[in-house]
Chains A and B, each alone.
Chain A
Amino acid sequence: MSNLRTIDVALIRDTVADLCGQADLLLPADVRRALEKGLAAEESPVGKEILTRLLENADIAAAESMPICQDCGLAVVFLDIGQDLHLIGGDLVAAVNEGVRRGYEKHYLRKSVCHPFTRANTGDNTPAVVHVRIVPGDRLHLWVVPKGGGSENMSKVFLVTPAQGLPGVKERVLETVEAAGPNPCPPIILGVAIGSTFDDACLRAKRTLLRELGSVNPDPEAAALEAELLTMVNNTGIGPAGLGGRVTCLGVFVDIKPCHIASLPLAVNVQCHAARHKEAVL
């Protein structure tokens, strides 16, 4: 026991609070680069103007400590906890929720969580969605991903049949983007998880959104599909803000995993251009 590294959950609480503020106020560098690249590639004058405004919006948000978007999201928190680490000082999930509570209050972020039927706001943006994974080592890696409702609402899960196969998967990704149109604030990012089970596909689709835009997928099969889907989606012409253009999507992240012999699960998590994600290693 004496050799175990320890972390007090109070540190996790304070880190989550800081990351909530950073995530909602500062556009990640990879998203900024992708928007700049999109601006250079966009053929539509209106599309160019929208992308210019989005970059300007990020500058204003950073300079004035204003949220990039008024939808400061439901806080999704990923924790990769080293198996040689010992957490002390209380309940981990309670500490994460307290961090969300403090971060959203301190940084004047919108509290966007409510009861599903009465729609009564919980008032402090909790409960957060917390995903824990136990990994080798004695570090704790955490990510805060504030997820906006507009893009989340356009996300889909499909139980494709094996007969429909890869063509069926591509058709459904395209169908998801077409149906969403201007609603999820394009240019969008797509998290696409294929295989495994219904529940695991959804979680992996969300987890892909932690990846950096422009990063190369180490799985060559997934990397090829990412490139193909990106072209298909950008050929829809939906464009920035859905007003028409060549830049509908900034990046597609694909995760492929084996599945049951009867199944071909597909989850498509749609992410808006305000793709907020901040991480820390403790």
Chain B
Amino acid sequence: MSRTFRLTPPLGDADTTALRIGDRVLISGTIYTGRDAAHKRIVEALANGQEPPFPLAGAVIYYVGPSPAPPGRVIGAAGPTTSYRMDAYAPTLMAQGLKAMIGKGKRGDEVKAAMAQHKAVYLGAIGGAGALMARAIVEAEVIAYPELGPEAVRRLVVKDMPLVCVNDTHGGDLYLEGRRAYQR
């Protein structure tokens, strides 16, 4: 039976190191969105000695480019995008204090090594369940790079966002473990 952890950002090492692959995680509180173009800009800003658009210490970043909010809604569909495209930037952000990444799909070896080094975790959301994931989002506001449209950085307030720990700080990888039992 898998364990369930309730986490509220900003996260510390105690939060992340307690997690093991397969653990269920429910996040409530403030997280930030960022995908390809936003990551490029954030890393460029850091290289130029500029402040990132949100504090990275203890931060949780969600790899998502939501669809536009229909009338009366705070956001449109908001499921995860494929994470490997952020692999080039993720170690830099973890070195600055990023503690959790939310996405779907495999991470590279450098990212996994950086997770162990910086005590950060990778949490999986269900890919393609955009309408379902939107239900966990109670507030959304664009805070940087509005010209990027769906790729702009948003501050989200989430409630019991349902996730599973895919890569922990101890080298575990749920994608590798999960397959083994069903491979023929």
**Could you list which residues of chain A lie within 8 angstroms of chain B, going by C-beta atoms?**
43-44, 46-47, 50, 53-54, 56-58, 60-61, 64-72, 108-112, 119, 121, 123, 149-150, 153, 181-185, 235-239, 241-246, 272-274
A-B CB pair tally, cutoff 8 Å: 162
A21 to chain B, nearest CB (A): 12
The answer to the question of B14 belonging to the interface, with a C-beta cut-off of 8 Å to chain A, is no
B108 to chain A, nearest CB (A): 12
In B45-91, the 8 Å CB interface with A consists of 64-70, 73, 76-79, 81-82, 84
Interface size (B, Cβ < 8 Å)? 45
Instruction: Report the separation of the CA atoms of residues A92 and B69 in the bound assembly, to the nearest whole angstrom.
Output: 31
A184 to chain B, nearest CB (A): 8
B124 near A241 with CB under 8 A, answer: yes
A residues near B73, Cβ cutoff 8 Å: 66
In B158-182, the 8 Å CB interface with A consists of 164, 174-175, 177-182
Instruction: Report the separation of the CA atoms of residues A72 and B81 in the bound assembly, to the nearest whole angstrom.
Output: 12
A residues near B126, Cβ cutoff 8 Å: 50, 53-54, 57, 241
The answer to the question of B150 belonging to the interface, with a C-beta cut-off of 8 Å to chain A, is yes
Across the interface, name the chain A residue whose C-beta is closest to B106: A181
A residues near B79, Cβ cutoff 8 Å: 69-71
B124 near A243 with CB under 8 A, answer: yes
A residues near B184, Cβ cutoff 8 Å: 235, 237
Instruction: Report the separation of the CA atoms of residues A68 and B127 in the bound assembly, to the nearest whole angstrom.
Output: 11
A residues near B18, Cβ cutoff 8 Å: none
A10 to chain B, nearest CB (A): 25
Binds A, one of B4-12, B110-118, B130-138: B130-138
B182: which of A53, A245, A274 is its contact (CB, 8 Å)? A245
Inter-chain pairs besides A69-B128, A111-B149, A245-B182, 11 sampled, C-beta below 8 Å: A43-B182, A67-B76, A69-B130, A70-B77, A110-B65, A112-B65, A150-B127, A183-B82, A185-B127, A235-B184, A236-B179
With A53-B132, A70-B76 as known contacts, state yes or no: A243 contacts B175, CB within 8 Å: yes
A residues near B105, Cβ cutoff 8 Å: 150, 181-183, 242
B179: which of A61, A65, A71, A239 is its contact (CB, 8 Å)? A239
Interface centre among A43, A53, A112, A241 (most CB of B within 10 A): A241
Across the interface, name the chain B residue whose C-beta is closest to A246: B182
A241 near B127 with CB under 8 A, answer: yes
Interface centre among B135, B164, B178 (most CB of A within 10 A): B178
The answer to the question of B129 belonging to the interface, with a C-beta cut-off of 8 Å to chain A, is yes
A88 to chain B, nearest CB (A): 34
Instruction: Report the separation of the CA atoms of residues A149 and B128 in the bound assembly, to the nearest whole angstrom.
Output: 12
A residues near B178, Cβ cutoff 8 Å: 44, 46, 237, 239, 242-245
B106 near A183 with CB under 8 A, answer: yes
B132 to chain A, nearest CB (A): 4
Instruction: Report the separation of the CA atoms of residues A267 and B124 in the bound assembly, to the nearest whole angstrom.
Output: 30
Across the interface, name the chain B residue whose C-beta is closest to A25: B131
B181 near A44 with CB under 8 A, answer: yes
Q: What are the 9 closest A-B residue pairs judged by CB atoms, nearest first? A: A244-B178, A237-B183, A237-B182, A185-B127, A183-B105, A110-B67, A61-B131, A70-B77, A57-B129
The answer to the question of B36 belonging to the interface, with a C-beta cut-off of 8 Å to chain A, is yes
With A56-B132, A110-B150 as known contacts, state yes or no: A244 contacts B180, CB within 8 Å: yes
Instruction: Report the separation of the CA atoms of residues A153 and B65 in the bound assembly, to the nearest whole angstrom.
Output: 17
The answer to the question of B148 belonging to the interface, with a C-beta cut-off of 8 Å to chain A, is yes
Instruction: Report the separation of the CA atoms of residues A188 and B67 in the bound assembly, to the nearest whole angstrom.
Output: 22
